[in-house]
Structure 1
């Protein structure tokens, strides 16, 4: 069992699933002049293959409260419910809130990326490998107002 294999730089590309790498490359292609892209830089049509694993989280810039804005169908299935519109702190999918906030906080405060590869129980209590990339979105290049996640799951070998 693996917990919190967390990386905050591109070194994860050496070991991540090819779908995570492809999503990251799409996000990075939107970072013009080393600026954090905004939500409007992404067309859902160009993201069709990723949509089931996408989660968008709104960030309250003043309080840093996080709210699920959109949760993809794969993520809903793994969780066993759709937390859209609800607080991330009350509905996170991680081993602890500290683990979850470690990723969100890094992305929000640094406008950097976070890659997390952890074993987490799904809604049926079965352990799954959950590989997630967290990337920032910003309307002004200064404040992160959305954290976009892309996750995939795999069976954990015993």
Structure 2
């Protein structure tokens, strides 16, 4: 995983997948009268084409920890490691604290978090990943899980780098 380059507003993201997932999440929230949706409100058959990019992250408290309950196949492919069932902070990525901080923001604020990750590829091109973290709650109040998505954009091998400093 690259280091987060920027947190963004939803309207600054280009990913149609993230916009679609957020719209679906918001619809589920609206159906619950504005309360956070439960995991059971998320029907995989309604977002089947998004599943390869989706993660479900468990939120544990005292101490606060984040466990990857489900990791989509495209996320595993692009990260080069299967991390289903593992905790953030135990995987070994150098930027895990940045990831923990973004999940903690969602868990504590009960608000979605959107952003952009960018890094230099070994070819000199720039890899991009827009991401979303959407809170889920079993009681409509405390965040118990986070519905996350990563949408990747890898340029052609002959693309010109745009000056991103993080090397993957």
Is the 8 Å Cα contact of residues 4 and 99 (structure 1) preserved in structure 2? no
CA RMSD, 1 decimal? 2.6
Report the CA distance shift for 1:125/1:143 in structure 2 as closer, same or farther (over 3 A): farther
Report the CA distance shift for 1:73/1:112 in structure 2 as closer, same or farther (over 3 A): same
Correspondence for 2:112: 113
Inter-partner Cα distance in structure 2 for 1:104 and 1:66? 8
| Pair 1:39 & 2:39 matched | yes
Q: List runs of 5+ in structure 1 lacking aligned partners.
A: none
**Alignment TM-score, normalising by the size of structure 1:** 0.85
Q: List runs of 5+ in structure 2 lacking aligned partners.
A: 162-168
Inter-partner Cα distance in structure 1 for 2:10 and 2:148? 15
Tell me how far 1:64 sits from its aligned partner. Answer: 1.2
Correspondence for 2:130: 131
Correspondence for 1:65: 65
Tell me how far 1:18 sits from its aligned partner. Answer: 1.6
Inter-partner Cα distance in structure 2 for 1:126 and 1:56? 30
Is the 8 Å Cα contact of residues 7 and 113 (structure 2) preserved in structure 1? yes
Inter-partner Cα distance in structure 1 for 2:148 and 2:40? 16
Correspondence for 1:87: 87
Q: Between Structure 1 and Structure 2, whose CA radius of gyration is higher?
A: 2
Tell me how far 1:127 sits from its aligned partner. Answer: 4.8
CA offset digits 1:43-81 (Å, max 9, x no partner): 110110110000111111332111110000000101112
Inter-partner Cα distance in structure 2 for 1:92 and 1:13? 32
CA offset digits 1:5-47 (Å, max 9, x no partner): 103xxx3224431221111101111113211001000111011
Tell me how far 1:137 sits from its aligned partner. Answer: 0.5
Is the 8 Å Cα contact of residues 88 and 96 (structure 2) preserved in structure 1? no
